[in-house]
């Protein structure tokens, strides 16, 4: 039996009784979220980075179409920095998806190949059944992110 350090899957307690599993063999790109209370496993992404837990309908296209380098959103792929899923608080988890890295990503050790662009991220809030409560959009502004979170908490409390 493999030790936790040698296991193929890494798991993390996300709070609210939720667990996240990621496959180390694929650079943690394959992600599952488990809701033990409901005895449900929610596949989020495949080893290739293809997002299977979200659809094109989970994206606020009016917002995302205004972003430079939004190609990965249209393909539902988390290529560069992947997907970051925060801990659950008040029944919600914050999901951040890097669509494009900043220009230093492409530079060699001498700086050659660097591009002149900022990192492009979109984010969403999901509930404990991995349903998107607030669609993927640019949430770099802290005030906007807090406001959307508060609206999502209110919407969940009405269910």
pLDDT at position 115, please?
Answer: 56
Residue 21, domain member (yes or no): yes
Residue 92 lies in a domain: yes
pLDDT tens digits, one per residue of 17-47: 999 998 876 566 789 999 999 999 999 999 8
pTM of the model: 0.84
Q: Is the Cβ–Cβ distance between 75 and 82 less than 8 Å? A: no
| Domain count of the fold of the chain | 1
1 found inside a domain: no
Query: What residues have CB less than 8 Å from 62, skipping those under 6 apart?
Result: none
Entry field: residues in the chain: 159
Residue 122: domain span: 9-157
- The answer to whether residue 28 is domain-embedded is yes
């Amino acid at each position: 039996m493999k030790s936790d350090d040698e296991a193929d899957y890494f798991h993390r307690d996300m709070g609210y009784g939720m667990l996240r599993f990621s496959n180390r063999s694929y650079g943690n790109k394959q992600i599952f979220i488990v809701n033990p209370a409901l005895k449900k496993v929610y596949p989020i992404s495949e080893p290739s980075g293809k997002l299977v837990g979200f659809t094109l309908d989970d994206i606020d296209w009016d917002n995302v179409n205004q972003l430079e380098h939004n190609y990965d959103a249209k393909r539902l792929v988390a290529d560069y920095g992947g997907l970051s899923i925060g801990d659950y608080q008040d029944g919600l988890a914050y999901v951040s998806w890097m669509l494009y890295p900043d220009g230093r990503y492409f530079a060699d050790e001498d700086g050659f190949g660097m591009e002149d662009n900022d990192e492009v991220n979109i984010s969403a809030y999901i509930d404990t059944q991995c349903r998107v409560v607030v669609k993927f959009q640019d949430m770099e502004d802290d005030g906007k992110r807090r406001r959307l979170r508060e609206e999502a908490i209110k919407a969940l409390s009405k269910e």
